[in-house]
Amino acid sequence: MREALVRAAEVTDFVELRLDCLSPEELAGIDELGALCEELELSVILTLRPAGQGGTSELDLSTRSSAWMSWPQSPNVWRDMELDLARRRLESFSKEELAHLICSYHDFAGTAKDVEHAYDRLALVPAHVLKLAVPAYDVTDCLPLFKVLDKAQADQREMIAIAMGPEGLATRILGPSRGAFLTFASLDHDSATAEGQITVAELKNVYRIDQLNRETQITGLIGLPISHSISPEMHNAAMETAGVNGVYIPFPVRDLESFLRLMVHPKTREIDWNIRGLSVTAPYKSVVMNYLDWIEPTAVELGAVNTIVVEGNQLHGYNTDILGFVQGLVATFGELGNAKCAVIGAGGAARAVVWGLKQTGAKITVFGRDEKQTKTLAQQLEVDSRSLTGAKFNEFDLVINATNLGTVGEFESQTPATAEQLAGARLACDLVYNPQETLFLREARAVGCETLGGLPMLVRQAAQQFKLWTGRDASEQIMRQAADAALTGSVG
């Protein structure tokens, strides 16, 4: 415990100790804790969470009450007491106890719809701080937690409101800026005590939680899944460098219509926040167009939007993917007019790549395993098509992988083309950015091709988004450094 407190003291001044991880015998040995907290200049929350409320302790109500009474008295020690126990002891609290009491309620089986009722029950306890935690099944489940923070402020009560799980991440990041007494983070990924908890380093270094306030511009990423994305690292680093009071947050969205209506669109949203725009990724790039007030012509032609900007009382849609892709290619290859380009794939990414290449005057052939899908794409965009089976690319200047083969995870060991097929091509380009060097690129390099990974293009399209939201130029160098750090696991 001492070792953990010393580590925590290096990054924060408020620490929770989960005593439910201790045996009854070990619980009896924490009487020196008050002196230790004073020595380290730490405030400590002591928590003995029962199993039914997210803890590991099997102690009954009476035993928990006795343990609570035996804890050390110190100005540095706070006590987190569950609502059932607090109500049992309601008449016996002293003023000193109430001054350092957090009364908490965790409902792991409930929904965010129950939040207001739970708050009313908590508010009957005159604890210094009230704490409420419920699971989030969609990002819109954050909304009742933000509303209850507003209600607590109106009632002049200190409040902690957490939506648990990845879908509730916004409450952990934005809570303090919206009046929460504190938020929770782990020392490292292995020591998280609740689902959706991120590390202190991420909260401070990526999301800059100490700098957020009610005026902070909110941007973020919507899609599902999005846990793999490095966009938060890139955009938040760019905001810090540019001096923008803004934050970029992942929003795992299951119900797109409800999220845009309740939390984004200026005419209908039920939260008072300074939301400026969103990145859009799979599976919503096309369907999101149904909920926008205006869409730029390029995105209309592509049938895909990757950027939403809040403009007055409207939502505007853009596509920065293609601009980033073409700029990245030109920076490496040079002008693309009349260049012979092979595009592997026949899905949405391939469609966007072909459309972007056509604007440069390049000569394009689409390759795919699904002959019907490949021909359909080629006919729609008026380019040539061939089967990928047995294909040779020696006659092409550029070969572009627009499939997900090579992406970290189940497809990482796969490539759409072998070294033998790629021999003779000048440049092999992969849209995949994680890992930075895919099997496709290694195969290409083995036969002397130049290579270009997906990360430079990701950075360029992100920089375009940044300018649409803030009106300022992003530092692509800073974005790239942040992306590299995220991909190598060295954030913070």
b (16+ CB within 10 A) / e for 171-186: bbbbbbbbbbbbbbbb
- Nearest Cα residue to 247 out of 258, 260, 234, 235: 235
Pairing of strands 427-430, 398-401: parallel
Report yes or no: 269 and 238 within 8 Å, Cβ to Cβ.
no
Rounded CA-CA distance 163/146 in Å is 10
Establish how many alpha carbons lie within 13 A of residue 449's alpha carbon, considering only the half-sphere containing its beta carbon.
Answer: 33
Which residues face 164 on adjacent strands?
135
- Exactly one of 285, 372, 375, 467 is catalytic; name it: 285
Rounded CA-CA distance 119/123 in Å is 6
What ranges make up the beta strands (E) of 296-443?
307-311, 314-318, 340-344, 363-368, 384-387, 398-401, 427-430
Going by the DSSP 8-state scheme, the letter that residue 388 receives in this structure is: S
Residue 103: helix, strand or coil by DSSP? strand
Packing angle, helices 321-333 and 348-358, rounded to 10 = 60
Strands of the sheet containing 43-47, edge to edge, are 14-18, 43-47, 77-82, 101-106, 129-135, 158-164
Which residues face 399 on adjacent strands?
342, 428
Residue 285 annotated among the catalytic residues of the structure: yes
**Which residues participate in catalysis according to the annotation?**
285
